[in-house]
Amino acid sequence: MNTSAHPAVPAVRRGDPTALMGVDIVECDRLARAAARGGEVFTRHITTPAERALGPGVAAFSVKESLIKAVGIRPEGFTWHDFEALPDPVPAWVAALLDEAADELAASAGVFLADGAAYAVRGASARAALVRLRSGTPVGAARWGESQGLFVALAIVYVEQEGVPS
């Protein structure tokens, strides 16, 4: 995908998605080994300084993988810092959508998704999300949890909507 010469993004049409979803399921041991092998370099590569102050630590890799899957691609120019956890609350309609999807995922994977955060979506990943979402400012939200040796992350990338209560 050539992100520098991005075609004009058409207006939203009936039937266009308003939210994109992604899921990542990984063995906890695999995450722990990757973090131990990469150490501080791994952490700096995956997370921003602001995220390191917030957490979720090693979970950031899987959470960001679920955000990448929601966007649908690792576009040219992608960096892990395209996604940044924020201290902001998730809008109510997004929280309700995440709750519903998390309940279904928990029932099938056996992992309760207890933790969550809002995410900024920037750079190449924001441009790639707009190809599918059509217009607006892409943002994200994620929920995650671990149990039975699995780490499960669920993400939604959506556009902020005017007039929709937070």
Q: pLDDT tens digits, residue range 103-133?
A: 999 999 899 999 999 999 999 999 999 999 9
Tens digit of pLDDT for each residue in 79-96? 999 999 998 999 998 999
Could you give the CA distance from residue 149 to residue 51 in angstroms, rounded to a whole number? 24
pLDDT value at position 95?
93
Top CATH class of 19-159 equals alpha beta
Tell me the mean pLDDT in the region 8-25. 66
Tens digit of pLDDT for each residue in 34-45? 888 988 888 889
Could you give the CA distance from residue 58 to residue 114 in angstroms, rounded to a whole number? 16
Tell me the mean pLDDT in the region 60-78. 94
At 12 the three-state DSSP class reads coil
pLDDT value at position 160?
78
Could you give the CA distance from residue 131 to residue 124 in angstroms, rounded to a whole number? 11
pLDDT value at position 38?
85
Could you give the CA distance from residue 161 to residue 154 in angstroms, rounded to a whole number? 21
In this structure, which amino acid lies at residue 42? F
Secondary structure element (H or E) that encloses residue 157, with its range? strand 150-159
Phi, psi of 159, rounded to the nearest 5 degrees:
-105, 140
pLDDT value at position 164?
52
More confident of the two residues 160 and 163: 160
pLDDT value at position 32?
87
What is the pLDDT of the chain when averaged over all its residues?
84
Q: Taking a C-beta distance cutoff of 8 angstroms, is the pair 144, 153 a contact?
A: yes
pLDDT at 10 over 80: no
Which tokens is 103 given? Answer: 């309940």
pLDDT at 6 over 70: no
pLDDT value at position 17?
56
pLDDT value at position 3?
36
Give residue 14's pLDDT band: very low, low, confident or very high (50, 70, 90). Answer: low
pLDDT at 4 over 50: no
